[in-house]
Amino acid sequence: LFQVVHAHKPHFMALHCQEFGGKNYEASMSHVDKFVKELLSSDAMKDYNRARVYLDENYKSQEHFTALGSFYFLHESLKNIYQFDFKAKKYKKVTGKEIYSDTLESTPMLEKEKFPQDYFPECKWSRKGFIRTRWCITDCAFDLVNIHLFHDASNLIAWETSPSVYSGIRHKALGYVLDRIIDQRFEKVSYFVFGDFNFRLDAKAVVETLCAKATMQTIRAADTNEVVKLIFRESDNDRKVMLQLEKKLFDYFNQDVFRDNNGTALLEFDRELSVFKDRLYELDISFPPSYPYSEDSSQGKQYMNTRCPAWCDRILMSHSAKELILKSENDEKIVIYDHIGPNVCMGDHKPVFLSFRIATGAGKPIANVHKCCVVQ
């Protein structure tokens, strides 16, 4: 992360985290404070003299807990930045460094919501939801939304239909968020939505393509006759196993297909965002699938064989936000959408970032140009 900050030197930086405290948050949440202090006090961040940190750490409040963490850092060179107070319905100048944690429900500087339990009844204690903040740099206002959508509970169920039932659940939740942030309560502004969307490749289409010349063997449970495993073997070549599929197993014999040329050949199966093409825009993806990476610290490039690799982590924006991004000049690449730590173990998700310049006061005789960086 610090290498990205050093390389791009953003004036305004937004960092969105999901599953704060990790899968075992009851035991691991104590490490979060150390992480936050390191970010705020590190030498790499010394020129950021203002910060806002929002941590949903209160896991004892199951009806509200989202495990989301939203960080915003302002460089000392950036003048006059304001944050919106949703309760007072007015902007307030940002000064100093402030950390908000535990329950965020009483904080007027953000909107936080957990998705209703009936959206994903398979998961008893889902932590999926979103946090929204609103900012104004000079005269340019925009929303930043930290989002975590529902995962695929079973590879076998995801494989049954195209698109999968889980894809439909994510569409419902994302549509809810988009409707929420453009409703009539507040002035409409441009918005950036970034987090773990859990978007998956169309599993049925991927398997049928990868195993086009294979034969399928179905393994059923003896007591229930339920399908518990699918084995795809080459028709010849000594019937070599190409793919084994279980509820939490996606064991394909050749991981290179997901890494070669950044997995570009598989982007045609990345279809979940197409439903929202009239509402959301994304820059071209030029990095490999961001999930599921090995959590072995010595295997920074290796995927786990639990799920089909996919671009779960994304940075999306409204079409009006797209117009705020200053286009490249003189062939200088000033808009960069990439992943962080390609060779370093960073957990099962590889973070992605978007670095760009935003022309505030666009259309005025003298536009102030600020550089932004958002990190998922």
Segment 77-115, tens digit of pLDDT: 999 899 999 999 999 999 999 999 977 888 999 999 999
Task: Determine the pLDDT at residue 363.
Answer: 31
Q: Nearest to residue 62, comparing CAs of 13, 155, 125, 129?
A: 125
Task: Determine the pLDDT at residue 303.
Answer: 97
Task: Determine the pLDDT at residue 229.
Answer: 98
Over the stretch 315-366, which tens digit does the pLDDT of each residue have?
999 999 998 888 766 666 789 999 999 999 999 999 999 999 986 554 343 4
Buried b (16+ CB within 10 A) or exposed e, 302-322: ebbbbbbbbbbbbbbbbeebe
Is the whole-model pTM more than 0.85?
Answer: yes
Instruction: Find the mean pLDDT for residues 191-196.
Output: 98
Q: Nearest to residue 47, comparing CAs of 9, 80, 14, 83?
A: 9
Task: Determine the pLDDT at residue 21.
Answer: 83
For the record, the structure tokens of 160 come out as 């049954």
Which residue type occupies 85?
D
Task: Determine the pLDDT at residue 364.
Answer: 43
Higher pLDDT, 359 or 56: 56
Residue 34 φ then ψ, to 5°: -65, -40
Instruction: Find the mean pLDDT for residues 240-262.
Output: 96
Higher pLDDT, 313 or 137: 313
Task: Determine the pLDDT at residue 135.
Answer: 96
Task: Determine the pLDDT at residue 365.
Answer: 39
What lies within 8 Å, CB to CB, of 372 at 6+ separation is 10, 11, 12, 13, 14, 355, 356, 357, 358
Per-domain boundaries in the chain: 1-200+258-355
| Beta strand 48-55 pairing with 97-100 | parallel
Instruction: Find the mean pLDDT for residues 116-126.
Output: 75
**Which CATH fold topology does 1-200+258-355 show?**
Deoxyribonuclease I; Chain A (3.60.10)
Task: Determine the pLDDT at residue 236.
Answer: 85
Q: With a cut of 90, say whether residue 30 has pLDDT above it.
A: no
Instruction: Find the mean pLDDT for residues 218-229.
Output: 96
What mean pLDDT, rounded, does the chain reach? Answer: 91
Higher pLDDT, 193 or 359: 193
Whole-angstrom Cα distance, residue 52 to residue 45? 13
Name which of 30-34, 254-258, 292-296, 314-318 the model is least confident about: 30-34
Whole-angstrom Cα distance, residue 56 to residue 147? 13
